[in-house]
Amino acid sequence: MMELAGVRRDIALACRVLAFHGLAADVLGHVSVRAGTGRMLIRCRGPRESGLLFTTPEDVHLVDLDGPYDALPGGYAVPSELPIHAETLRHRPDVTAVVHAHPPAVVAADLAGLRLRPIVGAFNIPAMRLAAGGIPVYPRGVLIRRTDLAKEMLSAMGPAPVCVLRGHGVTTTGATIAQAVVRALNLEALARITLDAAQAGAAQAGGAVPPDMPAADIAELPDLGSTLNEESVWRHHLARLAHAGLSL
């Protein structure tokens, strides 16, 4: 129980980090973590819902991947898009944590026809590597409320760790909560650079498009490892929450 209590707290903090950075502006979005065989801990909505920025561990509930979902205590209800989490955890044994968020720059870049490509290097190495691996897009702007829709999303996503949901948001995954959250933040950072570069290019004659990073430059970039890429970044974002008076 103590272990689950710690995971509940981490999920609540993850929701706060996503909201603090504008990836979950109000009550939309959720984070889940695998909790043994056939179960997950997931951020749910209660009768006094006030948005992801104010998520508490009490908002996180243990549910079976197969349901039922209508017997949560305290008037809580699972998110309508729970199939995103249940089907990802069911079909991706490599995944421990799932984030669904609505990052505005990612959505805007995709709607503008701008693929998230590896156009930056040392500026954000993890974002470059995500883009170099290919960032798939699920081309339907629907609420993923049913298993069949979640399976469509997973088919589009393939083995990738992230997926853009057109006109909707993103699904990101990770071996840890920190990894799934930081991947979502890195996608949004890359999308902002992509939009800025496209706007600057459109102001020039011919509308210059930034090229992908040369393969030789990509090869020069080190693998900084999870400690620097995710764990340190996660601690940084927790410190920013605390500085803003939003920690738990």
Q: What tens digit of pLDDT does each residue of 141-182 get?
A: 999 999 999 999 999 999 999 999 999 999 999 999 999 999
Other Cβ atoms less than 10 A from the Cβ of 144: the count is: 26
Average pLDDT over residues 121-148: 96
Where in the sequence is the domain holding 20, given as residue range(s)?
2-242
Looking at residue 80, its pLDDT comes to: 95
- Whether 231 sits among the annotated catalytic residues: the reply is no
Does residue 147 lie within any of the structural domains?
yes
Does residue 117 lie within any of the structural domains?
yes
Average pLDDT over residues 41-45: 97
Does residue 247 lie within any of the structural domains?
no
Looking at residue 194, its pLDDT comes to: 95
Whole-model pTM: value is: 0.94
The CATH number that applies at residue 56 is: 3.40.225.10
Across the chain, mean pLDDT equals 93
Give residue 4's pLDDT band: very low, low, confident or very high (50, 70, 90). very high
Q: Quote the tokens at residue 147.
A: 């298993």
| Domain total in the chain | 1
**pLDDT, tens only, 71-116:** 799 999 999 999 999 999 999 999 999 999 999 999 999 999 999 9
Does residue 100 lie within any of the structural domains?
yes
Q: Is the dihedral of CA 135, 204, 120, 22 positive or negative?
A: negative
Give residue 1's pLDDT band: very low, low, confident or very high (50, 70, 90). low
Q: Quick check: 203 pLDDT over 70?
A: no
Does residue 85 lie within any of the structural domains?
yes
Instruction: Tell me which of 3, 49, 58, 81 is the catalytic residue.
Output: 81
Looking at residue 25, its pLDDT comes to: 87
Does residue 144 lie within any of the structural domains?
yes
Question: Which class for 169: exposed (0-12), middle (13-18), buried (19 or more C-beta within 10 A)?
Answer: buried
Q: Quote the tokens at residue 3.
A: 């272990």
Looking at residue 92, its pLDDT comes to: 98
Does residue 125 lie within any of the structural domains?
yes
58-88 residues labelled b (16+ CB within 10 A) or e (exposed) = ebbbebebeeebeebeeebebbebbbbbbbb
Does residue 248 lie within any of the structural domains?
no
